[in-house]
Amino acid sequence: MSTAISVGKPSWWRSEFFLVGVLLLEIAIFSRTGSNFATAINALEIVRLSAEIGLLAVWMTPVVLTGGIDLSVGSLLGLCAVCFGKLWRDAGLPWPVAAAATLVLGALGGGLNAMLITRLRLPPLIVTLGSLSLFRGLAEAITRGVDNFTGFPSGFLDWGQGYLVGGIPAQAPVWIAVAAGVIVLVHYTVFGRALRAIGHSPEGARYAGIAVNRCVAWVYVLSGTAAGLAALVYVARVGQAKADAGTGYELLAITAVVLGGTSIFGGTGSVWGTLLGVASLAVLRNGLQLSDQPGELAGILTGVLLLGALSAEVGFKKFSARRRASVTLASSNSPS
Amino acid sequence: MKRLLSLGPVLLSLAVVLSGCKPSAPDSGSTAPAAGSTSGGVPKPLTVAFLPKSKGNAYFIAARQGAEQAAKELGIKLLFDGPTEPDPAKQNEIVETWITRGVDVIAAACENREGISTALRKAQAHGIKVVTFDADALPEARSFFVNQATPEGIGNALTDEAARLLQGSGEYAIITASLTAGNMIEWQKAIEKRNAEKYPNLKRVALRPCDDLKDKAFAEATAILNANPNVKLLMAICSPAVPGAAEAVKQAGRVGQVKVIGLGLPNENKRYVKEGVTDTVILWRVVDLGRLTIHVAAALARGELKPGATEVTAGALGTFKISGDNVLLGEPFKFTKDNIDQFDF
């Protein structure tokens, strides 16, 4: 099966190479223009600040691999953050219990998406567009738009603000462990291969004996759980939970995934690429700020980077397809 | 494919190593932040970072004008950044980047008191001085708060102006943002106190909340005018309520019979002030607030201003009193038909 999946892949173009180049270029430029950019402390700070987007993005990768999308993760992060605050402050639960409940809530939110997508066969784009509004609306309703949970115990805040030995931010191990877990899941398990097969052709995957619905459902549940986890990291880092937490994070996560070379139509892509995508976006934002450039520029350059990367990929694909056109006819599968 | 995949980690670690290698050079000089920069032997100018609640808000644009003016006067480097919309999480992120970047002072208007205090305390732990302006953080998270107006200052100015316009006697009504907001309650109390002490013939007949909405203020003002025909003055103590109340008076056709005063921004009220609907808009000089904040920040960083000081000199702006750890901007300013055109915020 795996040979069938890699048919039509251009022989040497990979988004990862492009992104490593982008990353090195960014580092070279910002080392000159930014104050204290090229320091170990800042490198760790980038890891710290990219944890939430990173968590969402690595779990978005399997979703996109199946040919789906999850627009609701940013809103679900907001809802989970607010519920965590509510459970801890108003229900008086100890924070570890509230945190566990928040993860369950994230899974349930993802489960709702999963049910609508697999049972009712609604397109993921529409379902998660709906739950994007739903989750954010619930978060606003719970806080009536104004309530802001603060004053969390330091034992909890340490997970987002504390540092381990060597100045390693406390959330780094969590985020690296999750990323490693997703890499193993997507690249080294049967489940991961099933996801690609589903992304290429759900019908084909079903005929090949893959439990398509179950796989797809799991992917959304896990994506929701990741939103719950990201919510905890977010609240611990910022020290507050408000209904607008994580607004727009879903788009940053999807940007990182697509930048990392995962096809938005599903089937091909890698978590490594996503990680590089997260890194190049985070370094870009951090470097611009340390170079005293306005935040708007980050938005512009993110757009340029994404469009540039996609155009370059299509260009290379066409180029290599033309070169191989005489050898095989099976190489043109680019739907764009 | 497998082979290419296995290249992934190698490349990633290469990138990490590369980004991790660089620090060793500037790291040795991390206590002298100028080491890596191109400036050479010239001493680095003081860097002050100025954080508004939101960048696009006319109020903070005006404060920025003042801040830039002060930066020019003092020959310091001013960084201005903030969320595009009021967003406490973004504020924290910006403060944390400034900590990494290395600035000398952070001057912040805080959207969320507790939320930002964590980041500001961290900045202090890194040797960065912190002052707040417009909206304070927790006291231990900053050295000084540049206080634009005390409740007494605002209450007295509003009550005195009402008394002046009504020549000391008559009925008036207050439109507030909400009956529960802390600052609103403080202002109401200050107004009541001044009223009771100095103007026994001035009588407040209504106090209505408008939820900080102009439409609701308009509806409430209309209701007040209908229910209390003897009301001679509307006092709006939150900024959307001032144009809201003015519109109500105008549409009720009672311009001149019912006067409007309030706490608001000049630009929102220019039209009504020029038409003679609104008599006086009271606020502090926001440009001066920005300017004073930068002067206080610079004085603090240079060691000229220490905790316990009772006054601070802000260049051409003059000398300002300090009460506790609050630097006082002074009496509120009255915007009227004669001067409102000079202000743009």
Residue type, B76: I
Residue type, A274: T
Extract the runs of DSSP E, i.e. beta strands, from B140-228.
144-147, 170-176, 202-209
Q: Which residues of B touch A42 (CB under 8 A)?
A: 23, 100
ipTM exceeds 0.95, yes or no: no
**Cα separation, A296 vs B55, whole angstroms:** 11
State whether B8 and A270 contact (CB < 8 Å): yes
pLDDT band, very low/low/confident/very high, at B143 (cuts 50, 70, 90)? very high
Tell me how close the Cα of A122 comes to any Cα of chain B, in angstroms.
Answer: 33
CB B70 within 8 A of CB B80: no
| Separation of first and last alpha carbons in chain A | 24
Q: Is it the case that residue B96 has pLDDT exceeding 50?
A: yes
**Cα separation, A292 vs A280, whole angstroms:** 18
**Cα separation, A85 vs A99, whole angstroms:** 9
Q: Does A146 touch chain B (CB under 8 A)?
A: no
Domains of chain A, start order? 14-30+39-324 (1.10.3470)
Percent of chain A surpassing pLDDT 90? 64
pLDDT for residue B14 = 40
Tell me how close the Cα of A268 comes to any Cα of chain B, in angstroms.
Answer: 11
pLDDT in tens, B216-274: 999 999 999 999 999 999 999 988 899 999 999 999 999 999 999 999 989 989 999 99
Q: Which residues of B touch A38 (CB under 8 A)?
A: 19, 22-23, 25-26, 36
Q: Which residues of B touch A7 (CB under 8 A)?
A: none
Q: Does A234 touch chain B (CB under 8 A)?
A: yes
Residue B164 CA: distances (Å) to CA of A329, B154, B161, B231: 90, 15, 5, 15
pLDDT, mean over chain B: 85
Q: Is it the case that residue A107 has pLDDT exceeding 60?
A: yes
Q: Is it the case that residue B43 has pLDDT exceeding 70?
A: no
Tell me the average pLDDT across A306-310.
88
**Cα separation, A96 vs A104, whole angstroms:** 13
Q: Is it the case that residue B28 has pLDDT exceeding 60?
A: no
Q: Quick one: how far is CA B60 from the chain centroid?
A: 7
CATH 3.40.50.2300 domain span(s) along chain B = 47-149+286-330, 151-283
3-state SS, residue B39: coil
Tell me how close the Cα of A178 comes to any Cα of chain B, in angstroms.
Answer: 16
Q: How big is chain A by its Cα radius of gyration, in Å?
A: 20
Beta pairing, strands A240-241 & A149-150: antiparallel
pLDDT, mean over chain A: 88
pLDDT for residue A328 = 59
Q: Which 10-29 residues of chain A touch chain B by CB within 8 A?
A: 14, 16-17, 20, 23-24, 27
Residue B203 backbone phi and psi in degrees, to 5? -125, 125
pLDDT in tens, A204-244: 999 999 999 999 999 999 999 999 999 999 999 988 888 88
pLDDT band, very low/low/confident/very high, at B52 (cuts 50, 70, 90)? very high
Tell me how close the Cα of B313 comes to any Cα of chain A, in angstroms.
Answer: 29
Q: Which residues of A touch B84 (CB under 8 A)?
A: 295-296
In chain B, the residue whose alpha carbon lies closest to the alpha carbon of A15 is B8
State whether B26 and A39 contact (CB < 8 Å): yes
Residue A256 backbone phi and psi in degrees, to 5? -60, -40
Structural class in CATH, domain B151-283? alpha beta
pLDDT for residue A13 = 59
Tell me how close the Cα of A21 comes to any Cα of chain B, in angstroms.
Answer: 9
pTM: 0.76
- Indicate the DSSP class of residue B143: S
Q: Does B196 touch chain A (CB under 8 A)?
A: no
Tell me the average pLDDT across B178-196.
87
Q: Which 63-82 residues of chain A touch chain B by CB within 8 A?
A: none
Phi-psi region of B188 (alpha: psi -120 to 50; beta: other; left: phi over 0): alpha
pLDDT for residue B36 = 37
Q: Quick one: how far is CA B106 from the chain centroid?
A: 15
In chain B, the residue whose alpha carbon lies closest to the alpha carbon of A45 is B100
Q: Which option is the CATH number for B47-149+286-330: 3.40.1280.10, 3.40.50.150, 3.40.50.2300, 3.40.50.1000?
A: 3.40.50.2300
pLDDT for residue B3 = 43
CB B76 within 8 A of CB B47: yes
Q: Is it the case that residue A33 has pLDDT exceeding 60?
A: yes
Q: Is it the case that residue B289 has pLDDT exceeding 60?
A: yes
Q: Is it the case that residue A34 has pLDDT exceeding 50?
A: yes
Higher-confidence residue: A13 or B298?
A: B298
**Cα separation, A109 vs B199, whole angstroms:** 60
State whether B94 and A240 contact (CB < 8 Å): no
State whether B1 and A38 contact (CB < 8 Å): no
Tell me how close the Cα of A213 comes to any Cα of chain B, in angstroms.
Answer: 27
Helix, strand, coil share of chain B (percent; to 5): 50, 20, 30
State whether A289 and B22 contact (CB < 8 Å): no
CB pairs under 8 A between A and B: 119
Q: Does A272 touch chain B (CB under 8 A)?
A: yes
Mind giving me the DSSP string for A19-40?
Answer: HHHHHHHHHHHHHHHSTT-SSH
Q: Which residues of A touch B8 (CB under 8 A)?
A: 16, 270, 272-273
Q: Is it the case that residue A6 has pLDDT exceeding 70?
A: no
pLDDT in tens, A232-286: 999 999 888 888 889 889 999 999 999 998 988 988 999 999 999 999 999 999 9
Q: Does A297 touch chain B (CB under 8 A)?
A: no
Neighbours of A254 (CB within 10 A): 24
Nearest CB among A41, A150, A244 relative to B87 is that of A244
pLDDT for residue B171 = 95
Residue type, B120: L
pLDDT for residue A292 = 86
